Structure 1
Amino acid sequence: MTKPIILLILKALEGRGAERMVTTLARAYADMNYCVHVLCLEDTQKMPLDQRVNYHVVPYNEPLLPQHSEQATAYKSVAKRIDDYVLGNIGKPNLILVNIYKLNWIMAYSQLPNIINVLHTALSKQFADKLIAEPVPTLTHLKMVYGAYPCSCVSEGARQDLLALIGNINRTKTIYNPCDVKTIKQAVAQPPNINQFGLSANGYIIHVASFDIMKGHQDLLQAYAKTDRKLPLVLVGSGKLEEQIKQLAKQLGIDDCVKFLGFQANPYPLIVAAALLVLTSKFEGFGYVIVEAQALNVPVISTDCPFGPRELLPKQSLVAVGDIEGLAKLISAALISPERYKAPFDKQLLPDNIADQYLKFSEKL
């Protein structure tokens, strides 16, 4: 008997939340004896795939075009290329999960069956500038993209944001991101060792995020500068704003207390040994690193940003976005009483539970 086929589509296996969700779900479906495939537009593989998962690259090969209509024409050709590749090399999938806006747009023109769009962020935040500058065409476009197929959202806040923006034009469901506690705990024993970075257990504060404006590094550094800085601040991640944040650390006179460790394929040895994990995002779809810290029993605090953290943490662990003084006080309080800022891991987020939710959602397609 032929195994049912699961296909997960995204831009590339980079080191962000969507990619973590895809690699975790792919492993879960392999455990469930499905034939699992991951298809990307680019052959960038920072996130490892389970050896049982089939990896495919259908090169994008299209320039970004200035005119929306021209881009749509280009994306239609990409969708046709993906369709032909999937049917010719993979077969007819029983479930297709399409991640990230660019792929959501491309696959809106697909003729493949059983597609679900997965939204990892809040559309109103992602398209804030365009919604102000060109509200009517932007809304029309988003209704086309997210009206094409049912949508799952990684937090209830993100789902409500979607409904408020484009209306109830298709089936939607909140399905949180999976967290593979077993694999994370195994990864804790793997390299890197914190000693190589000159760190000691419970001797630092950690922030794990790409250097992007939405991740709030500026607010974090300004707040940290207002604390007693008895523990260094460790920043894990890479991105376009990294040099700018390094300059800010120098301007604030805290560069001797801030460590930039770059992207780490395995951040868990660094997370588990931290005295405190801080998330300072301006908006999130979910907030993956929060549940990973919970899985490792690490104290965690966060900005009360739209939309994920408030669904994962108690109110005492949250501070308003942009409240530098409040963030500084919360960091200090969490270091004084770390046990108060440990929140239990929700077992409903285990990968087999999340994988099953997607299957049940797809049964009604």
Structure 2
Amino acid sequence: MSKPIILLILKALEGRGAERMVTTLARAYVEMDYCVHVLCLEDTQEMPLDPRVQHHVVPYNQLLFEEESEQAAAYKTVAKRIDNYVLENIGVPDLILVNIYKLNWIMAYSQLPNIVNVLHTALSKQFRDKLATEPAQIIAHLKTIYSAHPCSCVSDGARQDLLALIGNLNRTTTIYNPCDVNEIKKAAAQPLAIEQFGLTVKEYMIHVGSFDTMKNHQDLLQAYAKTERKQPLVLVGKGKLEDDIKQLAIQLDIDNCVKFLGFQANPYPLIADAALLVLTSKFEGFGYVIVEAQALEVAVISTDCPFGPRELLPEKNLVLVGDIEALVTLMNQAITNLDNYKVPFNQQLLPHHIARQYLEFGQVTE
């Protein structure tokens, strides 16, 4: 009897949360003896994929149209191309997990069975600007996409946001992102001479995230500038706002104690050696790095942003978004009493638990 087929679809294997979820889940399904495939629209591969997982690229020749109808027509063509490729090269999957809005839109036109949309963020936050200017059109557009297949959200807050925005148009559930503690600890144990960055073990605080508006580096730097600055602040990531944040560090006269380390394919040695991880996002779907810090027994504090952190951390580890003074206080308190801000890892987030939840939601017989 042939193994059940699991197909995970996303834009590219870039180094962000959704991609981390896909690579972790793919490895879990391989360990559970499924035939696992990852299909991308682009060949970018920053995230390592288990060699037992089959990687496919179906280029979509990205075309962006002003009119939604023209974009929809282009995406219908891409969906048909993906359908044909899957049936010819993979077979009929028993479960298809489709990640990221753009893919959710494309696969709304797919004729393949057993599709589940995975939402990694809150739609009302992702589309805030457009919802302010053209709410009726955007809500109708999102209803078209997310009524096509059952939807799983990576936090309950994101799920409630989905229901509030478009109603209960299909089956929905909350399934948190998986965290492979063993793999993270193994990656964290890889040799990395942090001295090359001018760092000392357990004597710096760290932020890991792309330089975009959502991650809110501005508030982080504004707050850090007002702290006692007992330890340097390390920023790991890349993104379009990186130069702006570097300029802000100079303006605040803290550029001598803020270190920009760029994108790190393996950030875990840096996280493991940090005294404190700080997350200052305006919104999150889940907050992957919080769980990874917990897996490495590192103290964590975060903004109480919609929607993930409050489901992962106690109230004392959280601060309101935009409250710079409260963030200053919390950073000072945490760095002087680290043990008080360490939160045990939730064993239910281990990959095999999460993998089974998707199978149950997709009604796949193991």
The answer to whether TM tops 0.5 is yes
Q: For residues 6-57 of structure 1, give each alpha carbon's deviation from its aligned partner in whole angstroms, at most 9, with x where no partner exists.
A: 0000000001000000000000000001000000000000000001000000
What is the deviation of 1:60? 1.0
Q: Distance in 2 between matches of 1:349 and 1:195?
A: 33
Question: What residue in structure 2 maps to residue 343 of structure 1?
Answer: 343
What is the deviation of 1:190? 1.2
CA contact (8 A) 2:293 2:299 kept: yes
Q: Distance in 1 between matches of 2:46 and 2:194?
A: 20
- In structure 1, stretches of 5+ residues that fail to align are none
Q: Distance in 2 between matches of 1:140 and 1:175?
A: 25
CA contact (8 A) 1:191 1:266 kept: no
What is the deviation of 1:63? 1.2
**CA root-mean-square deviation:** 0.9
Is 1:3 matched up with 2:9?
no
What is the deviation of 1:62? 3.2
Question: What residue in structure 1 maps to residue 252 of structure 2?
Answer: 252
Question: What residue in structure 1 maps to residue 160 of structure 2?
Answer: 160
**Where in structure 2 are the equivalents of 1:168-317 lying within 5 Å?**
168-317=168-317
Question: What residue in structure 2 maps to residue 83 of structure 1?
Answer: 83
Q: Distance in 2 between matches of 1:344 and 1:252?
A: 35
Q: Distance in 1 between matches of 2:170 and 2:364?
A: 12
SS in 1 for 2:226: coil
What is the deviation of 1:364? 7.6
Is 1:124 matched up with 2:124?
yes
What is the deviation of 1:67? 0.9
Is 1:99 matched up with 2:80?
no
- In structure 2, stretches of 5+ residues that fail to align are none
Letter matched to residue 334 of structure 2: A
Q: Distance in 2 between matches of 1:360 and 1:193?
A: 44
Q: For residues 251-307 of structure 1, give each alpha carbon's deviation from its aligned partner in whole angstroms, at most 9, with x where no partner exists.
A: 000000000000001000000110100000000000000000001100000000000
Q: Distance in 2 between matches of 1:274 and 1:215?
A: 19
Question: What residue in structure 1 maps to residue 332 of structure 2?
Answer: 332
CA contact (8 A) 2:302 2:317 kept: yes
Q: Greater shift after overlay, 190-199 or 235-244?
A: 190-199
What is the deviation of 1:189? 1.4
Letter matched to residue 37 of structure 2: H
Letter matched to residue 34 of structure 2: Y
Letter matched to residue 101 of structure 1: Y
Question: What residue in structure 2 maps to residue 114 of structure 1?
Answer: 114
Is 1:67 matched up with 2:77?
no
Distance 1:352 1:364, change over 3 A: closer
SS in 2 for 1:19: helix
Q: Distance in 1 between matches of 2:66 and 2:236?
A: 34
Percent sequence identity over aligned pairs: 75
What is the deviation of 1:191? 4.1
CA contact (8 A) 2:95 2:364 kept: no
CA contact (8 A) 2:76 2:106 kept: yes
Q: Greater shift after overlay, 194-203 or 261-270?
A: 194-203
Letter matched to residue 94 of structure 2: N
Letter matched to residue 350 of structure 1: L
Question: What residue in structure 2 maps to residue 54 of structure 1?
Answer: 54
What is the deviation of 1:188? 1.0
CA contact (8 A) 1:285 1:306 kept: yes
What is the deviation of 1:132? 1.1
Runs of at least 4 residues off by over 4 Å? none
CA contact (8 A) 1:298 1:342 kept: yes
SS in 2 for 1:225: helix
Q: Distance in 1 between matches of 2:259 and 2:44?
A: 26
Q: Distance in 2 between matches of 1:167 and 1:63?
A: 30
CA contact (8 A) 1:121 1:286 kept: yes
What is the deviation of 1:227? 0.6
Counting matched residue pairs gives: 365
CA contact (8 A) 1:272 1:298 kept: yes
Q: For residues 302-350 of structure 1, give each alpha carbon's deviation from its aligned partner in whole angstroms, at most 9, with x where no partner exists.
A: 0000000000000000000000111011000001111110001000000
Letter matched to residue 254 of structure 1: I
CA contact (8 A) 1:62 1:74 kept: no
Q: Distance in 2 between matches of 1:193 and 1:92?
A: 47
CA contact (8 A) 1:193 1:269 kept: no
CA contact (8 A) 2:94 2:364 kept: no
